Amino acid sequence: MGGFVLWQKNPDLWCLELVVSGCKISAGSDGRVAWRQTPWHQSHASRGPPRPLRRSLQGLDPMLTANLFSNSSCIGEKAVNGEDCFVLKLDAEAATLRARNSSSVEIIRHTVWGYFSQRTGLLVQLEDSHLLQIKSNHGNVYWETTMESHVEDYRPVDGINIAHAGRSNVSLFRFGDNNDGNTRTRMEETWTIEEVDFNIWGLSIDCFLPPSDLREGGSQESGQSNDVKAKNPGTPLPGRVQTNGRIGPSKVAAIDLDEPDSTSEEEGQS
C-alpha cells in the first residue's frame, strides 16, 4: 500500500515523493544533479549527467518517451496483450556508462526496449536491463536489474493521451565471486493514476533543488562539479504525499493548486 506524487517541468527537472508502508522516499533532479533520499540513507547524488525518471516513461510523458527512442533501432514485431506492436531497442552509449562509473562500481550495460502499438503508436510495454559490477578485495559481484512495465488505460488530458494504470515486475539477480551464493529478488507494483494536471501554479524552480546536505563540496561521490548548492532547500512543493494512510494503493495524490508560489510571497515581503 502506498502512493506517489510526481512534479516535472522538463525531462531533467523533476521531483518524486513515494510512500510505501509508511516509509517515505524522495528523489529528484535540478537539471545538474540527480539525487535520492531514503529513511535508511542520507541524501545521495547520482553519478553522471541527470537522467529522466523511469516512471515518467511509463505512459505519463509521451514526448519524453518519443525523444528517448528517437535514436533507437526497430528489431521486429510482437503481440502484447492482444495488441500488435513494433519493438524499439536502445543501448546506452559507452561514454554515458563511463560517466556513471566509480573506482569500485562499473556499469557494464543498460538496454531499453519499447513496445508500441501499431494501431495507436502509444507505448504498451517498457522493458530495461541493467548490469553492473561491484569490485572488492574479496571478489567481484554482479547485480542485474530487469524491469518490465505494462502500460494501459490511456485517457486524454488536455488533448494528450496519458496512461492511468499499469503494473511493473522487477527482478534483482546477484551473482559472482561471493560466499553468499547467487540470489534473486522479485517485486511487483500495480498502480493507478488519480489525477494529472499541466501548468501547475506555484511550481517554481526552487522546488527542484537538492536537499540541504548536498551543498557545495557535498556531492563528491556523484562526480559532479562542486558548484551544486541548495540555496533554498525548504521551498515547499504545491502538494505533498501524506503519510497518514489516506492515499490509496499506488495512486497519485491530488495536487493542491490553491497554495501560493513561495517565490511570490518572498518578493512581496522584501
Distance CA 35, CA 128 (A): 21
The predicted structure's pLDDT at residue 90: 96
Q: Which pTM does this prediction carry? A: 0.76
Sheet of strand 141-157, all strands in order from the earlier edge strand to the far edge: 73-80, 83-91, 105-117, 123-134, 141-157, 160-176, 183-192
3-state helix, strand, coil in the chain (%, to 5): 15, 45, 40
What does residue 233 show for φ and ψ, rounded to 5 degrees?
-70, -10
| 134: nearest Cα among 166, 103, 95, 104 | 104
Element (H, E) at 263: helix 262-269
The predicted structure's pLDDT at residue 69: 95
Per-block mean pLDDT, blocks of 10 residues, the chain (270 long) = 86 87 86 82 74 88 92 96 96 89 90 96 96 86 95 94 95 84 91 89 80 56 33 45 42 35 37
- The amino acid that residue 177 corresponds to is D
The predicted structure's pLDDT at residue 82: 92
Strand pairing class (251-252; 2-10): parallel
Distance CA 82, CA 168 (A): 18
